[in-house]
Amino acid sequence: MLEIKHLNYSVVEDGNTIDILKDINLKIDDKELVVITGQNGSGKSTLAKILMGIIPATSGKIFLNGKDITDLSITDRARLGIAYAFQQPTVFKGLTVKDLIDIATGDTNTVASACDYLSRVGLCAREYINREVNSKLSGGELKRIELALLLARGAELNICDEPEAGIDLWSFDALVNLFQNEKRTFVVISHQRKLIEIASKVILMEKGKIKKVGTFGQMSECMQPLACDKLEGV
């Protein structure tokens, strides 16, 4: 179980303190599919990066299965079973997809086992298993390869920042099936209705705070577009 207590994150710009996250309190149970959604700038990606240890919280605590991981490094969190899929996937010049799957699993995989990870994210293994992971691949291809590596890691807690970005309609259906069928804990940053609908828990963020937590049905009224106040005299 992941537990977040009174988490805050602030930055200082031009001598002014800007609060990005404000008193975040949250519990995520094992094998839950949790979708964090909200408008751009609401703090979703910042929260995900703090959970992975990419950036440090200003204050508050993070616990994984009762262990305080607040001050642990990315490497230490990964060893404890946390994995992260970036919004913008990384390229690995000189390494093939098969090479990266071997690194992710810590073992030499058969082609058949490596292909299994690729097929689960909607990629034809025959076409990709020996491809170099470089800039010649599209953003959507890189995103799906990164998700395959995340599966290969076998992590207990998987954090995915907008996994649907750049993915075509047909592959998106495979992505939805993946999150529905994998018996692991997923924390997914997304605006996509299909992912929000299948989540066991939806977290709606607004202006750095958690506005509401519930199922899609419980959240629908809160997820309407915000009204824009007109400027005076316009």
- Digit-by-digit pLDDT tens for the chain (234 residues) are 999 999 999 999 888 999 999 999 999 999 999 999 999 999 999 999 999 999 999 999 999 999 999 999 999 999 999 999 887 767 788 899 999 999 999 999 888 988 899 988 888 888 899 999 888 888 888 888 988 999 999 999 999 998 887 777 767 888 888 888 888 999 999 988 889 999 999 999 999 999 999 988 887 666 665 444 444 544
Residue 115 lies in a domain: no
Domains: count for the chain: 1
Question: Residue 180 and residue 197: Cα distance in Å, rounded?
Answer: 11
Q: Would you call 77 helix, strand, or coil by DSSP?
A: helix
Domain that holds residue 210: 2-93+136-223
Question: Residue 50 and residue 56: Cα distance in Å, rounded?
Answer: 6
Cβ neighbours for 130, distance < 8 A, ≥ 6 positions apart: 96, 97, 98
Residue 119 lies in a domain: no
Structural Rg of the chain based on CA atoms:
19
Residue 123 lies in a domain: no
Residue 105 lies in a domain: no
Residue 117 lies in a domain: no
Residue 113 lies in a domain: no
Question: Residue 169 and residue 176: Cα distance in Å, rounded?
Answer: 11
Give residue 222's pLDDT: 67
Instruction: Give the domain CATH number at 214.
Output: 3.40.50.300
Give residue 233's pLDDT: 46
Torsion angle of the four alpha carbons 171, 177, 183, 186, in this order, in degrees rounded to the nearest 10: 60
